[in-house]
């Protein structure tokens, strides 16, 4: 940030623009917010709307560079097409009296992620993931419109505080974005013929180092992987004392393992970052939605909304038909998913035991039925030990087999009371056995019961209407 003293000095470099000037009859220049190699951004006041805005100008050296002019116009056109809340809105464009262009944007209060990281050294894992998912929302919409950013870096991710207190990322600077299709191809080809490096080398993918013109959406996925690695570890995955050394590392060497620098980071998150940083772009995530699905379990619960919006945006644009379902956790890491992960997306790992529990329940029920049948059979066998018991048919109700009514002997019967009690209950059937028990017929299905054999001197048994014998 420049102070107002620097503002006067920098304003002298902006063609005929000074603090207090009013542009187009409505924008009053207040102060300089920041400057770069080719441009400067100032704060201004919209007189009709009573609203603060930011205005971006090209510096005199930028005005002399045809490539810089093309990039400046491209930034305005690309940013105005993207309606996502995570992109700094473009409000207006115009030209000064000398023909120099300017862009009017929403005014942002906060700091970029580079400034935030310098003050904190590293961020918490869930915070870093949430920032990356918010930026990915903007990039998903850009990709759906055929726009590749090509210059994603910490300085182009600006953090502001929303009205509800939640920190929110705004993606800046689409100045070197690539517009796919015929409309953008000619200008891109012209720009790549110059010796200017398009992008920030630390965040550039191997294919972007080879040819800026031939990159696709996966070059943005590489840059997002570099950003996430840097936010968590506090330093970029590739660095060098010279440009050739840096380029050689990006092209040939793997990054230092993230867990060496941040041991508390989930191992699954390291795998996500390493996939973003695959040298071969075919091995990276195929689109921004696949990356969001892989990241969502490492962010806070509210980050799920960002992942869902990214998935819908990519799917609606026809960029992927597979981006709507969360891949199984085994494809991301071996740790159990955190509470709040998206089972409704197709994740079945934590719940796959339900079928096994159902099958064990059926086995248990069958076992109980078999055991119960065996007990019933034993009770039936014990019930026929008395001479006065009639053999039951297989169709007798279970209640009759368990508790047959007791027999009442006639007054003239010489049988002692204990013998009569032996037929009253299965549990008492073995209390006192006769000295010469008769043979008992075994139950034979669908045959009439065999007549019991009489012992000498034993009177015939008597039955009541409610007895088992009363059924035949």
pTM above 0.75, yes or no: no
Q: Which of 92, 126, 151, 280 is catalytic?
A: 151
**Tokens standing for residue 436:** 């010469």
Q: What is the pLDDT of residue 285?
A: 97
Q: Is 151 a known active-site residue? A: yes
Residue 206 has a pLDDT of: 96
Could you tell me the mean pLDDT of each successive run of 10 residues in the chain, 472 residues long?
A: 43 67 93 83 95 91 81 84 91 87 93 96 97 97 92 95 95 81 42 54 94 89 98 96 95 96 96 97 96 96 95 89 46 38 36 44 54 55 43 39 44 43 40 48 48 47 42 38
Query: 3-class secondary structure for 136-167?
Result: HHHHHHHHHCCEECCCCCHHHEEEEECCCCCE
Strands in 101-106's sheet, in edge-to-edge order, are: 22-23, 27-35, 39-46, 51-58, 101-106, 90-95
Q: How many Å apart are CA 154 and CA 115, to the nearest integer? A: 8
Say what the pLDDT of residue 61 is. 77
Identify the structural domains of the chain with CATH numbers, from first to last: 1-107 (3.30.200.20), 109-344 (1.10.510.10)
* Strand, coil or helix: 231: helix
Rg of the chain taking only CA atoms, in angstroms: 43
What's the pLDDT at 99? Answer: 81
3-state secondary structure of 123: coil
Contacts of 18 (CB under 8 A, 6+ apart): 8, 11, 12, 29
Q: Which residues contact 172 (CB under 8 A, 6 or more apart)?
A: 88, 112, 156, 157, 158
Integer distance in angstroms from the first to the last C-alpha of the chain?
109
Which tokens in the block code for residue 177?
Answer: 């974005």
3-state class (DSSP) for residue 345:
helix
Report the C-alpha gap between 81 and 77 in whole angstroms.
7
- Supply the pLDDT for residue 177: 76
């Amino acid at each position: 940030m420049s102070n107002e003293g620097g503002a006067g000095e920098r304003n002298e470099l902006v063609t005929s623009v000074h603090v207090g000037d009013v542009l187009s009859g409505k924008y009053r220049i207040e102060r300089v917010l920041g400057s770069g190699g080719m441009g400067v951004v100032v704060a201004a006041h919209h007189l009709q709307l009573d609203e603060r805005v930011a205005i971006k100008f090209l510096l005199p050296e930028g005005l002399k560079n045809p490539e810089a002019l093309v990039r400046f116009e491209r930034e305005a056109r690309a940013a105005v097409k993207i309606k996502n809340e995570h992109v700094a809105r473009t409000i207006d464009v115009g030209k000064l009296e000398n023909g120099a262009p300017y862009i009017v944007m929403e005014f942002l209060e906060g700091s970029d992620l580079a400034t935030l990281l310098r003050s904190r050294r590293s961020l918490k894992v869930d915070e870093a993931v949430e920032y990356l998912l918010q930026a990915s929302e903007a990039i998903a919409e850009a990709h759906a419109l055929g726009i590749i950013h090509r210059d994603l870096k910490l300085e182009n991710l600006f953090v502001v505080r929303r009205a509800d207190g939640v920190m929110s990322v705004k993606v800046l600077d689409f100045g070197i974005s690539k517009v796919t299709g015929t409309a953008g191809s000619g200008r891109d080809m012209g720009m790549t013929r110059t010796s200017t490096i398009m992008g920030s080398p630390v965040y550039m993918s191997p294919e972007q180092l080879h040819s800026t013109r031939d990159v696709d959406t996966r070059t943005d996925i590489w840059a997002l992987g570099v950003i996430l690695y840097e936010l968590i570890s506090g330093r970029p995955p590739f660095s060098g004392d010279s440009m050739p050394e840096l380029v050689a590392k990006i092209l040939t060497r793997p990054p230092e393992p993230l867990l060496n620098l941040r041991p508390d980071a989930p191992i699954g998150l390291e795998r996500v970052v390493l996939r973003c940083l695959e040298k071969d772009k075919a091995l990276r995530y195929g689109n921004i939605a696949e990356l969001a699905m892989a990241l969502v379990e490492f962010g806070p619960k509210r980050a799920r909304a960002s992942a869902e919006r990214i998935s819908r945006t990519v799917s609606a644009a026809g960029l992927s038909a597979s981006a709507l379902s969360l891949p199984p956790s085994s494809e991301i890491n071996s740790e159990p998913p955190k509470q709040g992960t998206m089972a409704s997306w197709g994740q079945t790992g934590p719940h796959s035991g339900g079928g096994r529990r159902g099958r064990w329940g059926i086995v248990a029920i069958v076992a109980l039925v078999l055991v119960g049948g065996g007990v019933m059979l034993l009770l039936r066998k014990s019930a026929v030990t008395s001479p006065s018991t009639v053999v039951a048919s297989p169709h007798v109700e279970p209640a009759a087999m368990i508790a047959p009514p007791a027999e009442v002997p006639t007054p003239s019967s010489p049988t002692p009371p204990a013998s009569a009690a032996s037929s009253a209950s299965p549990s008492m059937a073995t209390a006192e056995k006769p000295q010469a028990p008769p043979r008992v017929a075994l139950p034979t299905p669908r045959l009439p019961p065999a007549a019991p054999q009489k012992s000498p001197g034993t009177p015939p048994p008597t039955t009541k209407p409610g007895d088992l014998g009363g059924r035949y």
